[in-house]
Amino acid sequence: MNTSNIIYLNDNKPNVVPLSDLVNEHPLDLLDPPNIVNTVIEARPMYYTSTNGSPALDTTRRGLHVVGSDMTPPMFVVKPSYKFEGAQYGDIYKAMVNICKASGINCAGAKVDSMMSPDGALGTMTLTLPEYTIETAKGDESIFQINGRTSFNGTWSVVLQIGAVRMVCTNGQVFVDNFSMYKSKHTLTMSTEHAQRKLAAALNSYQHEAERWKEWNKNSITNREAFNVFAMAAKCKFVLAKPNMSVYDLMIEPEVYRNRALQYMWNQYTTDDQKTLGSTHWAAYNAMTHWSTHAPAAKKTAEGSILSIKAKREDSIRLAAGALLAVA
């Protein structure tokens, strides 16, 4: 097999394609890598107390820790066979950069952001590419993004996928057609040809999604139809089971007023998005993405869970946004 065009993310592997060899003076070379790349995860031995009271090595499991930390207990316990070399946060970022370089897309003005849970177990990175900006309506722009995420506690696989951000409100846009360029447990290798094909397909998917957003900006929706979509995202089956009740009557039902997610989206829609965008699919959609991006957790939770909560909200919105397609 010809390995000269393989992008390896572990610099210790042979046939590495150095970043500098792909494109000289590339815009992404001018970016400061996100702080998350400095976090490295390692597996440490675990011990148990033997029958004579002394510590004994546990050969059946290892504990995952951040290098340099003294955290106890470990963030996650794995089998000795568990491998994650080449899938550290720094490797994910290199993958995103290498894919952009190999594909030849325009990265002028690119920005990079990252988020990580306090214990280092979950992390996300986002490359925002302003050269791929689409105007859904006058003064309403969305910008193409490449997102990378991974976890070391079993929450996520390694995922590289596309997204977008709406500049008016910094809502993270959720694509109805979830497009992942790469997904694997804990390995990262991709040929340059494959990277080019996947990113080209990703840009096509982004264009298709943007056309859908433009149509949604023209399509009207009733309050009850919007409320149904919000109920689907908020997993409030009661609303969907009462098709003949008005929104006013539904709002006084315990199953409805106790559902904080539904209340958040309805309030966001009626006090903001409906006023600025009209009674449209686009307004309803943005009320949902505002919830997934900006709403606090429904109950007090560990800060490390916020990233996981946001991902679950986006999955809920993807289903609910699909329901918008069925609204005439």
Give me the helices (H) in 169-280, please.
Answer: 192-218, 223-233, 237-240, 247-250, 254-257, 260-268, 274-277
Q: Each residue of 256-290: pLDDT tens digit?
A: 999 999 999 999 999 999 999 999 999 999 999 99
Domain around 54: 41-78
Give the span between the Cα atoms of 229 and 156, in whole angstroms: 27
| Cα–Cα distance list, 155 to 61, 158, 174, 227, 315 (Å) | 19, 10, 20, 31, 14
- Identify the CA nearest to 146 among candidates 184, 116, 103, 117: 103
- Looking at 181, 199, 216, the residue that finishes a domain is 216
- Count how many domains the chain has: 3
- Identify the CA nearest to 243 among candidates 265, 271, 222, 218: 222
What length does the chain have?
Answer: 328
Question: Quick count: other Cβ atoms within 10 Å of Cβ 121?
Answer: 23
Question: Per the domain annotation, does 1 fall within a domain?
Answer: no
Q: 102 — phi, psi (to 5°)? A: -65, -30
Give the span between the Cα atoms of 273 and 252, in whole angstroms: 23
- Looking at 56, 78, 100, the residue that finishes a domain is 78
Q: What percent of the chain has pLDDT over 70?
A: 80
Place of tokens 């470990």: 74
For the segment 175-200, the average pLDDT, to the nearest whole number, is 64
Tell me, yes or no, whether 18 and 117 share the same domain.
Answer: yes
In a 13 Å sphere around the CA of 26, the CA atoms on its Cβ side amount to: 21
Tell me, yes or no, whether 25 and 132 share the same domain.
Answer: yes
Q: Each residue of 66-110: pLDDT tens digit?
A: 998 887 789 899 998 887 777 899 988 988 898 888 888 899 999
Q: Which of 133-147, 167-181, 281-295 has the lowest mean pLDDT?
A: 167-181
Tell me, yes or no, whether 58 and 131 share the same domain.
Answer: no
Tell me, yes or no, whether 154 and 103 share the same domain.
Answer: yes
Residue 179 — pLDDT band, cuts 50, 70, 90? low
Which residues contact residue 90 at a Cβ distance below 8 angstroms, ignoring those fewer than 6 apart? 33, 37, 38, 40
Q: Each residue of 16-67: pLDDT tens digit?
A: 444 444 445 789 998 999 999 999 999 999 999 988 889 999 999 999 999 9
Give the span between the Cα atoms of 249 and 228, in whole angstroms: 14
Place of tokens 């214990």: 119
Tell me, yes or no, whether 65 and 174 share the same domain.
Answer: no
Average confidence score pLDDT of the chain: 82
Task: Quote the pLDDT of residue 176.
Answer: 58
Tell me, yes or no, whether 60 and 205 share the same domain.
Answer: no
Single-letter amino acid code for the residue at 297? A
Residue 235 — pLDDT band, cuts 50, 70, 90? very high
Question: Per the domain annotation, does 23 fall within a domain?
Answer: yes
Single-letter amino acid code for the residue at 185? K
Q: Is the pLDDT of residue 178 over 80?
A: no
Tell me, yes or no, whether 206 and 269 share the same domain.
Answer: no
Tell me, yes or no, whether 185 and 131 share the same domain.
Answer: yes
Residue 4 — pLDDT band, cuts 50, 70, 90? very low
Question: Per the domain annotation, does 47 fall within a domain?
Answer: yes
Tell me, yes or no, whether 139 and 267 share the same domain.
Answer: no
Tell me, yes or no, whether 69 and 24 share the same domain.
Answer: no
Tell me, yes or no, whether 148 and 11 share the same domain.
Answer: yes
Question: Per the domain annotation, does 123 fall within a domain?
Answer: yes
Residue 242 — pLDDT band, cuts 50, 70, 90? very high
Compute the Cα dihedral for 170, 174, 180, 184 and give only its sign.
positive
Tell me, yes or no, whether 25 and 172 share the same domain.
Answer: yes
Question: Per the domain annotation, does 305 fall within a domain?
Answer: yes
Question: Per the domain annotation, does 73 fall within a domain?
Answer: yes
Render 31-79 in DSSP notation, one character per residue.
SPPPGGGG--EEEEEEEEE-TTSSEEEEEEEEEEEETT---SS-SEEE-
Question: Per the domain annotation, does 118 fall within a domain?
Answer: yes
Which residues contact residue 204 at a Cβ distance below 8 angstroms, ignoring those fewer than 6 apart? none
Question: Per the domain annotation, does 269 fall within a domain?
Answer: yes
- Looking at 216, 244, 262, the residue that finishes a domain is 216
